[in-house]
Structures are given as structure tokens and as C-alpha cells.
Chain A
Amino acid sequence: MSSTMLPSRSKTSVLVFLVPPLLLYGVAVLFPILQSLFLSFFKWDGITDMRFVGFDNYARMFVGDDVFWTAFFNSLGYLVICLVLQLGGALVVASLLISLRRGRELVKTLYLLPAVISTVAIAFLFQRIYSLEPVGLLNQLLEWVGLGGLQQAWLSNVDTVLAAVSIPEGWRFTGLYMLIIYAALLAVPQELEEAARLDGANWWQVFTKIRFPYIRPVWITTTIIAATYALRGFDIPYLLTNGGPGQASELLTTYMYKTAFTHTDYGYASTISVFIVIECLIAVGLIILLLRRKADA
């Protein structure tokens, strides 16, 4: 990669092209990461003097803070629901789309539409979908199919609220992942599938033995994107319930945000955001490890 395409270039020219982007990136991304790491060892409310507290914030987070753990497990629930809807939905629709003879472009466009809408608009929309009074879309639908007994205010019930704030996020981006997987499925060589079918392989065998192994690299990338995006999910839970009722839909991100900007506890908030970064890195590592190992087996 370090080979040059230009016969003549100077060190200055490299710097001229490289320094401006690095400067922006440093100010917006790299330096804040270091700053968060630094702040996570301090107690600071933004007004009085900063006080070095060593690992106190980390100890508080892991041992002394029940809300943190609630938020952590909620985040995992949010992650699972998003992944199932986004990747599961994407794989199903992409597989079905491949077998469609016409209208593929139309389906792709329509399926992607929710990704264009802002999260604030989506939050308004889903408030009305889940609403009980006046009866919202979901509750009306339940009544029509004879499940009127299930009608409830989905966002105020502690048992349903986490799913209720996760589903909009899954709904929003499934189209994006479907496109990626669809493009990968298109590239699976037809001869392979044909040969397998002639040998009597059924649909499931073709899928598990040929299609899926073939798209595995793309699947890994897609899973990584979807997982890291779900772990940083914030807008919709924040807007729909602000973590409530109680802490029933509190995610690490919303908890961090409140700690920072409602309680102005910058040190502890930085500790939580450092944890979110580490969590993302671990997730990426796990995904690569799990999906790769299956490939070797």
C-alpha cells in the first residue's frame, strides 16, 4: 500500500494533503477519545476544581452502581432485538428478493425509505403507534385480530418498554443491511447452486452449505456494523421514554448522557463512555472470533 503512484512527489506535498484532514479528525475524534480516558480518572462538575480520584469512578461503576448494570443489560437486550430485526429481517428479505423476477428495484427503494427519516420524526411516529388513548395503530391492529386483551400503553409498561424502544431502531435500518446482503447474495455463483440442486440438495442445504459460506465475509462486516450501531443507539430511547419508566429502558448511552448533562458529573460520564467504547471493541472482537471459528470448523 505504501507504494507511490506518482514518480515525483515531495514530503511537503504529502503534508499539505494529509495535515488538514488529520487536524479535523484529531480535534473531533482522536483528541476527545484521549480526553475521555483522562477525565474518567477525575471527579469534576465543570465548575469547581478537578480532583484526581484514580480508579474510583471505575469501582463505582462496576460495584456501586445498580443503575449502570440495569442500563448495561438493557443495552444488551436492545442489541439483541436490533440484530434480530436488522440482520434476520435483512437476510430473509434479501433471500426472497433474489427469487423475485421483477420489482426488485422498487422493493429495495421502499424497504430503505425509513432510513431516510430523522429519529425525531420516528419517535413522534412510534408514540402514536404505541399509544393507547387515543388508540394507536398497534392496539387497533391487536383488536382486529382478536387480541384486544393485549392492548396496553406499550411505552409505560416496564415489561414491554425495552422492546418498544428497540423495534423502531430495528425497523429503521433493516433496509440498509438488506441492501448489503442482497448485493452479496447476487455475487454467489449460480453454477454452484445449480450443481448442488441437481445433486438433490434442498433449499436449506443450498443455503447453509453454499450461499451462507459464500457471503460470510460480508455477513461478518454487516454484523459488526449493526452491532456497533446498536450499542451506540441513543436517539430513539432518549426521545421516546428518556430511559423510563424508572430505568426500564435506560441504555448505557442515555445513562451516560444524563450523567454528563443533567447531573454534570463529567468524570463519571467519561468513565461510562470509555466503557461503551471498550464494549464496542469487545463486541467486534467476539463477532470476528465466533464467525471466523465457525468457518474453520
Chain B
Amino acid sequence: MTTTQTAIAPPPPVTTPVEHERMPRRRRQRLNVHRTLATVVIALIVIVQVYPLAWLFITSVRTEQDFASGNPFALPTEITFDNYARAFETGNLGLNILNSLVVTLGANLLIVLLGMMAAYALQVLGFRFSRVVRALFLIGIIVPVQIALVPLFIDYSSVNLLDTYQSMIIPLAGFALPMSIYLFSSFYEYIPRETYEAASIDGAGPYRIFGQITFPLSVNTIVTIVLVNSIFIWNDFIFANTFVLSDDLKTIPLGLQNYIGAMGNVDWTATFAAVCITITPLLLVFLVLNKAMIYGLESGATKG
């Protein structure tokens, strides 16, 4: 992250040596107190943010008796992986993960490809009614996804699309498209006109320019968009819950619900093992690539 940060960061705050000389000692002490206090408060807040997740993992290796009787904050008396075995027996985790992968890949492909195309048409090619089209795409950012549930359910059942991968991919991609177009076009703004002019003089038309210049230059933006969208698609509950009925197509969020047994009885430790299995891939990707993701989230909102 240091690279992106130093790029935007102003001179470091209030701690330059010059500063210290100029400052009376009392103020410097007060600043130190402030800083210590800030550190403590931040540490506390971070614990509140992260502890529940750590607790998930701790609980997933507890024995059932330990979970039922013990103090929830205590460390497990013994570590067991039986919960993981039961998690795989009870549910259909492998299939759920596969389905989630298919939906995530499919939706991302559409979001990236169609996002680039629209941004190229709007920003690079340009046309008379581009402002109208931009405004249309803005609607999708503000409007809540729930508006589409009933109509899509009706439309899908009339064209036999209910209970398919497409039934999830279409709205997931459609509602993510505006932000993708927006990020691509704000990046395309910075590709200098001369690049295109040079290519045009060499005889390249709009299609070749898209394939040979715009697309290769977009790779960083693509990575950001894919990362950010993957979080939301991988975790989507509402579209999957509405349009998917059969077990064969259930994605992870739906699969996890299978762990609620008859009469609401839940095998909690096995459920938490299943939760841990399903969140680990995304957590790992996030921890490895968080620079790109954080950068994408920051720039996505602040440039607006």
C-alpha cells in the first residue's frame, strides 16, 4: 500500500523535526498523550471488528460439549477437526463452492467486458447522446436491487430461466455494471489523445485500437473491479435465494443455510466449520491483495 499512499499523502503530520523545535514542550507532551490515546482507542475498535471473526475460527475447532457448556470466550479445552468432517458430510460444500465460482466468474466476465465496452463508447468514441446514456447508468447506482426481484422472477419463469446460473449472473452483473463503467471511463480520461491519434495514423480502426491499446492499458482497473465485485458476488444472498430452488445450483450462502436442521436445530460447531471453509478463500485473497482492493474502494468513492 505504501506506493499508492505516498502518491497521495501530504507531508507527514505534525511530527517533522522542525515542528518539534518550534513547539513548546507542554504541547509536545500533550500531543504524545493524544497519540497514545488514539492508539489505545483504535486498538480497542480493531479488536471489536476482528474478534468475532477470530471467534468463528476458534469455535470451529471446539468439541460440541465444550461449545454447549463453556464460557464462549474461553479457549477450547481440546482442538478437534471433527466439525470439519461433519461439515462436509452434512452439506454439499464442494458443489456450493463450485457454483459460487461459476457465478462469480460469469458475472465478473460480463462486468469487465461490457463495462470496458460501454466506457470506450462513452469516453473514447463519444457520441451525441452520451450524457443521456450516462444518466441512465447512474440510475442503477442509486436504485435498490429489490426493485428487480419480482419482475425478474416473472420474466425468468416465462422464458424458463428460473433456477439457472444465468438467473443469478444477469442481475448481479447488471447492477454492478454502472460502477464498472464509471471506473473504466474515469481511467480512460487519462489516456492521452496522442496515443489514439498515433494509432489512427497507422491505420488502426476503433476495434483494433480497443483491442491493442485500450484493453491492455486497462489491466490494473480490471484487477480492482474484479476484486471488489467478487466480494459482493461471492456473498450474494438475495438473488440466489430468490431465483434458485434446486440443491444442484445452490451457491455458498444458500448452502450454508442447509446447516439449520429440522425444527431449527443447528449443529453449531459443524456450521462454524462450514462457515470457516467458505470464507477462507475470500479472506486469503483479500489479505494477499488488499492493497489493490483498498485502492479500488477508495478511488471508487472519492473520485465521485
Which A residues are closer than 8 A to B by beta carbons?
1-11, 13-14, 16-18, 20-22, 24-25, 27-33, 35-36, 39, 46, 89, 92-93, 96-101, 105, 107-121, 124-125, 128-129, 134-137, 140-141, 171, 174-176, 179-180, 182-184, 186-190, 194, 203, 218, 221-222, 225, 228, 231-232, 234-235, 239, 253, 256-257, 260-261, 266, 269-270, 273-274, 276-277, 280-281, 284
Q: Report B167 CB to chain A, min CB distance, Å.
A: 11
| Pair A190/B174 contact, Cβ less than 8 Å | no
| Pair A24/B110 contact, Cβ less than 8 Å | yes
Find residues 164-196 in chain B having any chain A CB closer than 8 Å to their own CB.
170-171, 173-175, 177-178, 181, 191, 193, 196
The answer for the CA separation of A39 and B171 in the assembled complex, in Å, is 19
Main SS of chain A's interface residues? helix
The answer for the CA separation of A21 and B235 in the assembled complex, in Å, is 24
| Pair A232/B144 contact, Cβ less than 8 Å | yes
Chain A residues near B177 (CB-CB < 8 A): 21, 24-25, 28-29
Give the tally of cross-chain contacts (CB within 8 A).
Answer: 318
Find residues 111-143 in chain B having any chain A CB closer than 8 Å to their own CB.
114-115, 117-118, 120-128, 130-131, 133-134, 136-137, 139-140, 142-143
The answer for the CA separation of A110 and B47 in the assembled complex, in Å, is 9
| Pair B55/A137 contact, Cβ less than 8 Å | yes
| Pair A4/B125 contact, Cβ less than 8 Å | yes
Q: Report A20 CB to chain B, min CB distance, Å.
A: 6
Chain B residues near A140 (CB-CB < 8 A): 71-73
Interface size on B, residues (CB 8 A): 116
| Pair B53/A114 contact, Cβ less than 8 Å | yes
B41: CB under 8 A from chain A? yes
Residue of B nearest to A95 (CB): B38
Residue of A nearest to B199 (CB): A6
Chain A residues near B127 (CB-CB < 8 A): 2, 11, 14, 18
| Pair B53/A29 contact, Cβ less than 8 Å | no
